[in-house]
Amino acid sequence: VPWDEALDIGAEALQRVRQQYGNESIFGGSYGWASAGRFHHSQSQLHRFLNGLGGYVYSIQSYSTGAAQAILPHVFGCTSHQLMAQTPPMEDILQHTRLVVSFGGISMKNTQINQGGIGDHSARAQLQKAREAGVKFINISPVRDDVADFLDADWWPCRPNSDVALMLGLAHTLVTEDLHDKAFLNRYCVGFDRFAEYLLGQSDGQPKDAAWAAERCDIEAERIRQLARRLAGEPCLLSISWSLQRTEHGEQPYWMIGALGCLLGRYGLPGQGVGYGYGCIHNFGFAGRQTLPFKVGELPQGENPVKTFIPVARIADMLLNPGGTYAYNGQTLQYPDIQLIHWAGGNPYHHHQDLNRLRQAWAKPETVIVHDNVWTATARHADIVYPATTALERNDFACGGSDTYFTPMHQVVEPYAEARDDYAVFSGLAERLGFAEQFTQGRTAMQWVEYLWQVTRQRSAEADIELPDFNTFWHGGIFAVDKSQLKKTEFMLEKFRADPAAFPLNTPSGRIEIYSERIASFGYSDCLGHPAWLEKQEFLGSPRAQKYPLALVSNQPRTRLHSQYDHGITSRQSKIKEREAARMHPQDAAVRGIKDGDIIRLFNDRGACLAGVMISERIRPGAIELPTGAWYDPQNPAEPNSLEVHGNPNVLTRDAGTSQLGQATSAHSCLVDVERFEQALPEVKAFKQPALETVE
């Protein structure tokens, strides 16, 4: 239909739902990596528009770190982002540390990205320097190449989701052999005595010793004991990836590694303690201590009059259970009755779990409006689709968090066909809904870009950092802030260690909470008052593993960013017979008669998908790797639970909260089985445009 009619239809839908059900029936999505620009940031554009309309139901947390976002404020009194941004920098590690023990690895592929763009690509060089300085690495992961080969790491191929058991085994050895730092625990922590009762088995009759841990993590007990002694005897750093908290009880690995760090007494020492998120994006751990002391300009979103929210990963629960109640972080909340979803950028059919369940939930609202520049599965499941421009078709500027590079993003080509940027679409909708002036403030898109630069420049001047005027910046290429202008940051835990009375943590006790009275008061059976091993439904040691004996590792891909550019040549060349490539151990392949290059069917009771197979000893037996990001492609879209033919692992993953505390995604707790696919290969249609009919 023509643009004017398309905008009329969208405005009418928004107005109808708003008048009939109220603004609490509108969900403002737009979770995703649609733009690195400061102005054409899809989430900001959508939220500004919906706030001007009277508000919307919003989401909190992220799929990346939802459980960490819930647990870390209770333990350290700060947000997860604050703690991760102050992860010990690699420059300190190579000077002060001899051993890095990495739970979940330090994946090089993820260091190529950063929210808002990245100018510094030095992670590989920094790690190489650490190795050359004699730092040793241990990779605790079911996948060998979660740590780069050039680091010559000692690989501990633990069972997926068993890290807490291993940490408890290490902690038990430290305590029973009197290797723990009692002075640190007494001065900087609360709750060790309560935790020790559990650790030593005094509260439940089961000591969490190395032998107990070995049964769960599949690492020899003596090896665990030796590592504990080594950790106590030399300068060390514990590292934990984001992936470990995307599991059943995903809060526990982050809490338990904190407790282990306290037992070792290394928090607040340069290059030691615990590092959160190395290898998850570039800047955590690799940005150094000299980072921007001001916020880069962002599009003002206004105030949202609607106060109802959901943890972001509970979207399908919300749509399927309007009016239902659920526990979250000490609160009892109620799901709203959503009648309209507005989504600009992002693709829940990539990042959400149990896609067959999501399809069922997605059909509940009266209207779904999507803006995008490609036919994602989300766009294919929408009622109204607005064709949006790409970053190459508009002007903007970029600067990522903790980065020191500002990049002018010049328009390269005219918009394809009749595509419009999100700002133009929202301006057209706002005009029809009576608040165009409020939304645009009389500015064109380019005027907004210049305005946001002026805001950035003003903030930088207040921090005594000089940025060029807009004209100089816009025509001068990438601008790098002179790091000599930047002060070295003293981290929160360093100040706390130096003087806990002067710099207390923002916890109830002012100290690190190994035992949390606040969490204990919630009465949750799936998140106790202290870190603990909690039995899991989807674990290689669980009863469910008798039916589905392989643990699915659905990690980040090497050939694209999430699902972006899956249709590009780099991603497509990595596929096997047009399907995403899965890796499995020779032992698991042999018992199923599977050979390298075969097409396999991965399945469980939630769904099934096809993939090509690579036989590799770089993944442990009992695990199978299928990266995320293959565009969702059901063989028969009209059929519920249709076979997914392209290799999207989220038809298999579980859609359940980590716990009542965090309600985050638990995608990495997933059991499957595999068989050789013997039938004729279905066509991959994910990259083909759906049939369109022009209405005169």
Q: Percent of the chain, pLDDT > 90?
A: 93
Q: Which amino acid is located at 196 in the chain? A: A
- Of the candidates 555, 447, 503, which has an alpha carbon nearest to the alpha carbon of residue 141? 555
Element (H, E) at 139: strand 136-140
Domain 543-676 has CATH 2.40.40.20: yes
Instruction: For the chain, give the mean pLDDT.
Output: 96
User: What pLDDT band is residue 153 in, cutting at 50, 70 and 90?
Assistant: very high
Residue 696 has pLDDT above 80, yes or no: no
CA dihedral sign of residues 615, 620, 623, 627: negative
Which tokens go with 185? 């625990």
Q: Which residues contact 197 (CB under 8 A, 6 or more apart)?
A: 203
In the numeric block, which tokens belong to residue 679? 């039938």
Q: Please, how many CA atoms are within 13 Å of residue 675, restricted to the half-sphere of its CB? A: 7
Quick one: which of 604, 605, 606, 554 has its CA closest to 580? 554
CB 275 within 8 A of CB 237: yes
Q: Kindly tell me if the per-residue pLDDT of 439 is higher than 70.
A: yes
- In contact, 168 and 213? CB cutoff 8 Å: yes
Amino acid at 8: D
Query: Residues of CATH 2.40.40.20 domain(s) within the chain?
Result: 543-676
CATH 3.40.50.740 for domain 28-60+303-398+405-484, yes or no, is yes
Instruction: Outline which parts of the chain fall under CATH 3.40.228.10.
Output: 67-292+490-508
- Is the pLDDT confidence value at 34 over 70? no
The residues, ordered by sequence, that sit 6+ positions from 158 with a Cβ below 8 Å of its Cβ are 140, 141, 142, 166, 217, 218, 219, 620
Instruction: Output the CA torsion sign for 141, 142, 144, 146.
Output: negative
pLDDT in tens, 407-419: 999 999 999 999 9
- The pLDDT of 348-370, averaged and rounded, is 98
pLDDT at 140: 99
Task: Please determine, for residue 33, whether its predicted confidence score (pLDDT) is greater than 70.
Answer: no
Span 179-207, pLDDT tens digits = 999 999 999 999 999 999 999 999 999 99
**Fold classification of 67-292+490-508 (topology level):** Dimethylsulfoxide Reductase; domain 2 (3.40.228)
Please check the confidence at residue 29 and state whether its pLDDT lies above 90: no
Q: What is the pLDDT of residue 115?
A: 78
> What's the pLDDT at 652?
99
Q: Which residues contact 207 (CB under 8 A, 6 or more apart)?
A: 172, 199, 200, 201
Instruction: Assess whether pLDDT exceeds 70 at residue 345.
Output: yes
Q: What would the mean pLDDT of 23-37 be, rounded to a whole number?
A: 85
Give dist(CA 352, CA 313) in Å, integer: 7
* pLDDT tens digits for range 516-558: 999 999 999 999 999 999 999 999 999 999 999 999 999 999 9
Active-site residue list:
31, 33
Buried b (16+ CB within 10 A) or exposed e, 333-355: bebbbbbbbbbbbbbbbbbbbbb
**What integer is the mean pLDDT of 241-246?**
97
Give pLDDT, residue 30.
Answer: 76
The pLDDT-based confidence of 478 (bands split at 50, 70, 90) is very high
3-state secondary structure 379-414: HHCCCEEEEECCHHHCCEEECCCCCCEEEEECCCCC
How many whole angstroms separate alpha carbon 80 and alpha carbon 86? 10
In percent, the amount of the chain with pLDDT more than 70 equals 99
Residue 120 has pLDDT above 90, yes or no: no
Q: How far is the C-alpha of 227 from the C-alpha of 41, rounded, in Å?
A: 46
CA distance 180 to 143: 30
Confidence category of residue 459, pLDDT binned at 50, 70, 90? very high
Residues of the chain with CATH 3.40.50.740: 28-60+303-398+405-484
Predicted pLDDT at 35: 72
Q: Exposure pattern of 279-291 as b/e (b: 16+ CB <10 Å)? A: bbbbbbbbbbbbb
- Amino acid identity, position 527: C
Condensed to tens digits (0 to 9), the pLDDT of residues 588-623 reads 999 999 999 999 999 999 999 999 999 999 999 999
Report the amino acid identity of residue 147.
Answer: V
Structure token pair of residue 171: 């902690």
Q: Give the C-alpha separation, 157 to 144, whole Å.
A: 7
At 73, which helix (H) or strand (E)?
Answer: helix 66-76
**Local confidence band at 36 (pLDDT 50, 70, 90 cut-offs):** confident
Sheet containing strand 236-240, edge to edge, reads 154-156, 136-140, 99-103, 236-240, 273-276
Cβ burial of 468 (10 Å; 0-12, 13-18, 19+) is middle
